[in-house]
Structure 1
Amino acid sequence: MKAFLLGLLGLVALLAAYLLLWPVPIAPAAWDAPYDFGYVGAYTPNRDLTDLTEIDLGTHHGPEDIVALPDGRLLTATQEGFILTVDPQTGAVNVLADTGGVPLGLEMDPTSGRLIVADAHKGLVSVGLDGSVEVLTDTVDGTPILYADDLDIADDGIIYFSDASTKFGAKASGSTMAGSLLELMESKGTGRLLAYDPATKATRVVADGFVFSNGIAIAPDGDILMNVTGRYQVLKINPETGAQTVLIDNLPGFPDNINRGPDGTFFIGIVSPRSEWLDKNSGNVMARKIAMRLPAALRPQAQSYGLILQIGASGQVFRTWHDPDGNYLTPTGAVVVGDRLYITSLLSPTLGYRPYP
């Protein structure tokens, strides 16, 4: 019995030493998470995102973003690295191109007629409708672009895009989800907003220090709207000076994409509700280190609850669509095409839509 107890104590000591001392990839910073009021006020729940019509993507999944072509077809990205064409009338799905990475945000460049892609592995990429692929930029100021996430194109042709983390690249981390979790758990803010000029082929840093810089959209006045996932915020950023103001603060979940909508509005996808554990331990760096030593299944996880916001340029919330059951996996955002509101996703094997308005 004595030997058994000694062995048990030894195992407990080893486990404690592991949980307290084993190296982890994050060096957490303490911060004070705002109180989570949940789905109240402008965010009061409804069921307007349930019962979506879904277009099967076959062997593909993760239609992170979409754009519409003049002939009515849609282009969407997949986690497998493909750009797909989708016929919304027939449901036909075909591969247009393989970026060789993980394409996320998409926008058509009206000047070149090519699709511009924020690729989490490759950087900023241009894809022709003939399937050709060209990397526009994958470095800035001598540093690699490790997690290009979303983009928008200004009237003067400048492409603004987010580099979500300069420490936890999507490729090196094993997946886009894994890289985002590491950036959120560390919470030091290594994300940045970048600008690429097609005329000069120069890339510059507009602003940095963001805890997972994510969705990008250009406001009517030319400023940049950017979702900061790890701070539950939408920022408004001057593209020349980098000066920032908070457009929306203390969102009830993690904001992902932001897309321009009708009549000067914008759509924001809330990919998951906030994590009570992360908020409670925002100031506890040791707890976050210990969590990273646990099996992945025991760490904070994205939760199944779908939410799309429609906001104005000054940040007012006009309308929300909720899926409390989380039937459509991890919605990243929404795009209006004709009389349909298409719902994009990080994980779904389908592209969902519902009538709009």
Structure 2
Amino acid sequence: MKKWIIALTLVGVLVAWWNMAAPREEIGCCIAGSIAFNPAIAQKIVAVDQSEKFPTGLETLPLELPAYDDAVFLDDGITALVTAHDGKIWKVDLAGIVAEPLVDVPLMAWGIHEAPGNPSYIYFCSSGSYKNRPPGEVAGLYRLDISTRSIEPLVLKVPDTKINLQQPIVYADNDTNAPEIASDGSGAPSRKIAVCDNLEVSEDGRRIYFSEPFYYENASADDAIDEAIALAPNGRLWRYDIESGATRLIAEGFHFINGILYDPHPGLAREESVIVTQTSLFQVTRFYVNGPKAGNFEVVIDTLPGMPDGMDRDVKGRIWLSMFTERSPLLTWMHENAWIKPLLMRLPTSLLLSQTQRTGVVVLSPDGSKPLYSAFYKGPELASIASAVPVSSGIYLANVALDSPDRGQKKGIQRLQWPPELK
């Protein structure tokens, strides 16, 4: 009798733990099936791997600067503005090796981009940490006037849409069914932005694309990790029209949309397509908004060796992908065997993050289809690379550690000298 009581008690405890530790419904409902990684692409990336040489090209600029997420370079690369993890945008004088806070922003800025044709303006995404958000500070897309240090919100709300979990969608520019809200709030029903992660500004400076990896109320960092494991299709890409003030849905139903770049379009008035990183899917994807393929999407490259975060182009049009963390054997096996995910997503986040992985960069051809360079690193200088910004003096690596208690400490800037293979 006692054995039965003990057994029933254990079953009850397990059932209670299973229910209490479950991921939120918006994620648990949508765990993707098992996926297969393409060994041919993996071999192409291995063929251009320069990880052994990477440490010799790495240097640290001794600046009193907190860890940061992204950077934009002004004055021919002499001045940088970086989105630091202390909730400020910092100004960095690379000639004098001096850094100072420029402006305190709502929450914490992540992606940042210059305004083409207007050196006074900078655009940035602001979201920051998920917990303990100060009252009155709202996630969204913002504009900074450098000369006056004034900040103006551009987009704090987006159309409130319901994702079709079975069918991702891309809206062509001429699709009248695309959810959109006007500058006065009219149009589709709206909601607050949960996470404004990264952004890209069109070549003519008239449109801003920004990513929202997922949306639900009271999101947490643990939810972001569950998203990455589940491959839940909760990612969206939005576009803000600077002239009209309208905000339009470009794509939804994808996996953790993060970095964004428009494709070159010589001879055309505006971009036909944009590419994004689907971080948790280890993939770069192209969305067509104009031209003969408008309304469609395609995989540019998959089976990347790490989680792609930010993207930038160098002067030759090559794409620099930051690999936030390496695709570990455990994570690879997990995605290939999705049946285990409901269990793993109930384990403590600290346990899932306990295995330190390498971080690095991958460089692709201008169309994104061909790996040109790859390098990974594990050591004291870099934790996780959130962006890799190439300028003439080198490639500046945003060095963050989301699970580290010293995220706000001064760490300087890590710079990679130009690899000989890419000069």
Question: TM tier, shorter chain?
Answer: 0.7 to 0.9
Q: Which amino acid aligns with 2:304?
A: L
Q: How many angstroms does 1:326 deviate by?
A: 6.7
Q: Which amino acid aligns with 1:238?
A: Y
Q: Provide the rounded CA distance (Å) in 2 between the counterparts of 1:158 and 1:47.
A: 41
CA-to-aligned-CA distance 1:107-160 (integer Å, 9 cap, x gap): 100244311102225211111213211111021221322111111111232111
Which SS does the other structure have where 1:263 is aligned? coil
Q: Does 2:253 match 1:216? A: no
Q: 1:159 to 1:319 in 2, by over 3 A?
A: same
Which SS does the other structure have where 2:45 is aligned? helix
Percent of pairs with identical residues: 21
* Matching of residues 108-187 of structure 1 within 5 Å: 108-112=114-118, 113-120=120-127, 122-129=139-146, 130-141=148-159, 142-156=190-204, 157-167=206-216, 172-175=218-221, 178-187=222-231
TM-score if structure 1 supplies the norm length? 0.87
Alignment equivalent of 1:73, drawn from 73, 76, 79: 79
Match of 2:45 in 1: 42
Q: CA contact under 8 A between 2:142 and 2:155: conserved in structure 1?
A: yes
Q: Provide the rounded CA distance (Å) in 2 between the counterparts of 1:106 and 1:81.
A: 13
Q: How many angstroms does 1:19 deviate by?
A: 3.7
Q: Which amino acid aligns with 2:75?
A: P
Match of 2:312 in 1: 259
Q: How many angstroms does 1:327 deviate by?
A: 3.8
Q: CA contact under 8 A between 1:194 and 1:203: conserved in structure 2?
A: yes
Q: CA contact under 8 A between 1:329 and 1:345: conserved in structure 2?
A: yes
RMSD: 2.7
Alignment equivalent of 2:281, drawn from 215, 224, 231: 231
Q: How many angstroms does 1:293 deviate by?
A: 2.9
Q: 1:323 to 1:280 in 2, by over 3 A?
A: closer
Q: Provide the rounded CA distance (Å) in 1 between the counterparts of 2:311 and 2:249.
A: 20
CA-to-aligned-CA distance 1:9-31 (integer Å, 9 cap, x gap): 46633442234332431314232
Q: 1:154 to 1:8 in 2, by over 3 A?
A: same
Q: Provide the rounded CA distance (Å) in 2 between the counterparts of 1:128 and 1:281.
A: 46
Which SS does the other structure have where 1:334 is aligned? strand
Q: Provide the rounded CA distance (Å) in 2 between the counterparts of 1:283 and 1:46.
A: 26
Q: 1:331 to 1:32 in 2, by over 3 A?
A: same
Q: How many angstroms does 1:204 deviate by?
A: 0.4
Which SS does the other structure have where 1:20 is aligned? helix
Match of 2:173 in 1: none
Q: CA contact under 8 A between 1:305 and 1:326: conserved in structure 2?
A: no
What are structure 2's unaligned runs of at least 5 residues? Answer: 129-138, 160-189, 266-270, 402-406
Q: CA contact under 8 A between 2:361 and 2:388: conserved in structure 1?
A: yes
Q: CA contact under 8 A between 2:65 and 2:413: conserved in structure 1?
A: no
Q: CA contact under 8 A between 1:50 and 1:327: conserved in structure 2?
A: no
Q: Provide the rounded CA distance (Å) in 2 between the counterparts of 1:310 and 1:230.
A: 18
Q: How many angstroms does 1:203 deviate by?
A: 0.7
Q: Which amino acid aligns with 1:342?
A: Y
After the TM superposition, which of the residue ranges 44-53 and 73-82 deviates more from structure 2? 44-53
Q: How many angstroms does 1:247 deviate by?
A: 0.8
Alignment equivalent of 1:18, drawn from 13, 16, 19: 16
Which SS does the other structure have where 1:230 is aligned? helix
Match of 2:61 in 1: 55
CA-to-aligned-CA distance 1:168-211 (integer Å, 9 cap, x gap): x7xx3344xx3431322332211111111110111101111111
Q: Provide the rounded CA distance (Å) in 2 between the counterparts of 1:331 and 1:248.
A: 20
Match of 2:416 in 1: 354
Which SS does the other structure have where 1:181 is aligned? helix
Match of 2:187 in 1: none
Match of 2:172 in 1: none
Q: Provide the rounded CA distance (Å) in 1 between the counterparts of 2:59 and 2:374.
A: 18
Q: Provide the rounded CA distance (Å) in 2 between the counterparts of 1:56 and 1:115.
A: 26
Alignment equivalent of 2:103, drawn from 97, 104, 123: 97
